[in-house]
Amino acid sequence: MSDDSSLDLQQLIDRFQPDDLQVRRELMERAMGRLRRLAAKMLGQSFARLKAQHELDSVVNETWMRLAQALEQTELNSVAEFFRLAAHKIRQVLLDMVTRQQRWNREQAVDFQGGDSSANNDPSQQTSNPDQLAVWTEFHERVATLNDDQRKVFEMHYYLEIPQAQIAELLAVHPRQVSRLWIMATDRLTEGLQLADGALG
């Protein structure tokens, strides 16, 4: 996570109140660039097969709406906490898109069963590996099953790209504890899944 505007964002967060529409809007506008980069990373890395049907803008716009709603009921203390919430909302949007796409695919299979199907020419059926999409979908769904400490470390390091040493400072724990939490989280998330080598960095 770059720190190009972290100070400005933290100053806004220090003033943040869920019912302060002006501060909430300014916070989201200032964070839009990083929010877009985060969505692009997740869409490209884990959900590449969705790119045939969904533009990055559609992911960002839906995330924006969900994040705005969440901030109406959320207290924030730090920039990292804000972007952890943003990553959570992006993950929800992408998983919901996968669910809708899978439902559409099933409906098309029923409609065209036994004959030539225009779905066979659908780019979504020819883009990337459907097996890998299923694997990554399960991977990201499992994030919600991590305990709070593991989830914090995983989201900050994987989604936000914060170095483990900095995470230790932010969470006020020893770096070895961060390393242990990262290992436990990734072990839980990847158990039984066949991810490409180097997928977790």
The confidence band for 119, taking pLDDT boundaries of 50, 70 and 90, is: very low
Q: Categorize the per-residue pLDDT at 153 as very low, low, confident or very high, splitting at 50, 70 and 90.
A: very high
Over 70: is that where the pLDDT of 62 sits? yes
Q: How many helices (H) and strands (E) does the chain have?
A: 8, 0
| CA 6 to mean position of chain CA atoms | 20
pLDDT band at 145 (very low <50, low <70, confident <90, very high): very high
What is residue 121's predicted lDDT score, i.e. its pLDDT? Answer: 45
Sign of the CA dihedral running 20, 26, 29, 34:
negative
What's the pLDDT at 117? 46
pLDDT band at 130, cuts 50/70/90?
Answer: low
Q: Is the pLDDT at 120 greater than 60, yes or no? A: no
107-131 average pLDDT score = 52
Residue 197: per-residue pLDDT: 61
Mean pLDDT of 21-43: 88
DSSP conformation class of 125: G
Say how far residue 112 (Cα) sits from the centre of its chain: 34
pLDDT in tens, 166-180: 999 988 999 999 999
Average pLDDT estimate for 111-136: 54
* Res 52: pLDDT: 73
Say whether pLDDT at 77 is over 80: yes
Phi, psi (rounded to 5 degrees) for 114: 90, 0
Per-domain residue ranges of the chain = 6-190
